[in-house]
């Protein structure tokens, strides 16, 4: 069982990244605590600023803000841009827009805000089967399909949040001070700890390609998907290909797989 000390080394101190103010906030008191969080939150900055997915999200968010400011502004006073306060955002954008932003971020997930936990739809399918469901996008007013991985009898969505957090989790592991001392068993315990939605890709890839450089392959697959439209569907197709060609791919070096 993973220890609390090992968990804290990897996950790091609590932190956050605000894409509008371009600020990273970290609560840790020592570099030992802060390092994994810096790598994690800086990954989210890179996702926003260097990927197609990030640009589309940022552009959409800014359009919502500008539309709201145009409606609420006056001739004499410019409305103050609510860069970091969630309550201010809610006041300026309105409950409906805030709700839509959350739906977009958590699409495919059942999120309980009171307990701050996710509950996934149970399934009778075998593990590692990839399925799809149709969802309605509140912004584009269009239907789209999102893939799921079945792990431990539950459907786990491959939405943007899951993809981004898997990518950031890789850098949390690499960014901790004891990374070079971690064994494969340590990493295996870390990536299976608590948050199944964020470790689903590790579980899946490790199942089909156990001898690959797991961290590198997960990071690269996530990066590829975020640089293409419909990242969830793209990563779903990549995982299907890994399933189909697992015997062939398992004989290749990780760089060649990528």
pLDDT tens digits, one per residue of 195-218: 788 889 999 999 999 999 989 999
Q: How far apart are CA 238 and CA 160, in angstroms?
A: 15
- Please state the rounded mean pLDDT for residues 234-254: 94
- Please state the rounded mean pLDDT for residues 166-177: 86
**Residues 80, 83, 86, 90: is their CA dihedral positive or negative?**
positive
- Give how far Cα 12 sits from Cα of 9, 29, 83, Å: 6, 11, 25
Task: Return the higher-pLDDT residue of 256 and 110.
Answer: 256
pLDDT classification of 220: cutoffs 50, 70, 90: very high
| Nearest partner of 242 among 152, 170, 149, 167, judged by Cα | 149
- Please state the rounded mean pLDDT for residues 234-257: 93
List, for residues 122-168, the tens digit of each pLDDT value. Answer: 899 999 999 998 888 766 677 888 899 999 899 999 988 899 999 99
- pLDDT of the residue at 135: 83
Q: Flag whether the pTM goes above 0.75.
A: yes
Residue given tokens 């431990």 in the structure block: 152
Q: How far apart are CA 172 and CA 170, in angstroms?
A: 5
Number of helical H runs and strand E runs in the chain: 12, 7
Asked if residue 224 lies in contact with residue 234, where contact means CB atoms within 8 angstroms, the answer is yes
In this model, does residue 2 exceed pLDDT 50?
Answer: no
In this model, does residue 80 exceed pLDDT 60?
Answer: no
Strongest mean pLDDT among 89-93, 106-110, 115-119: 106-110
Domain ranges of the chain: 4-257
- pLDDT of the residue at 90: 62
- pLDDT of the residue at 3: 55
Asked if residue 90 lies in contact with residue 98, where contact means CB atoms within 8 angstroms, the answer is yes
Radius of gyration of the chain (CA): 19
Task: Tell me the β-bridge partners of 26.
Answer: 15
Lowest mean pLDDT, pick from 32-41, 139-148, 189-198: 189-198
- pLDDT of the residue at 96: 66
In this model, does residue 82 exceed pLDDT 60?
Answer: no
List, for residues 47-75, the tens digit of each pLDDT value. Answer: 988 998 888 877 777 776 676 666 555 44
- pLDDT of the residue at 84: 46
Percent of the chain with pLDDT over 70: 76
Query: Helix or strand or coil: residue 74?
Result: coil
């Amino acid at each position: 069982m993973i220890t609390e000390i090992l968990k804290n080394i990897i996950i790091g101190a609590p932190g956050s990244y605000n894409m509008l103010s371009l600020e990273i906030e970290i609560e840790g008191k020592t570099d030992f605590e802060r390092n994994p969080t810096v790598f994690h939150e800086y990954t989210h900055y890179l996702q926003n600023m260097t990927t197609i997915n990030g640009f589309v999200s940022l552009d959409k968010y800014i359009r919502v803000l500008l539309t709201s400011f145009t409606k609420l502004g006056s001739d004499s006073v410019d409305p103050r841009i609510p860069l970091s306060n969630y309550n201010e955002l809610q006041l300026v954008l309105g409950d409906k827009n805030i709700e839509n932003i959350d739906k977009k971020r958590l699409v495919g997930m059942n999120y309980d805000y009171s307990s701050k936990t996710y509950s996934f739809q149970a399934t009778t399918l075998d593990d590692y089967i990839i399925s799809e469901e149709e969802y309605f996008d509140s912004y584009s007013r269009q239907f789209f399909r999102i893939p799921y991985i079945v792990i431990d009898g539950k459907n786990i969505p491959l939405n943007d949040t899951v993809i981004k957090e898997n990518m950031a989790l890789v850098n949390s592991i690499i960014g901790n001070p004891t990374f070079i001392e971690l064994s494969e068993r340590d990493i295996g315990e870390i990536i299976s700890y608590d948050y199944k939605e964020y470790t689903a890709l590790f579980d899946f890839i490790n199942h089909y390609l156990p001898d690959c450089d797991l961290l590198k392959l997960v990071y690269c697959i996530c990066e590829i998907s975020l640089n293409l439209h419909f990242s969830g569907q793209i990563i779903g197709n990549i995982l299907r290909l890994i399933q189909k060609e697992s015997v062939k791919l398992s004989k290749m070096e990780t760089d060649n797989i990528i």
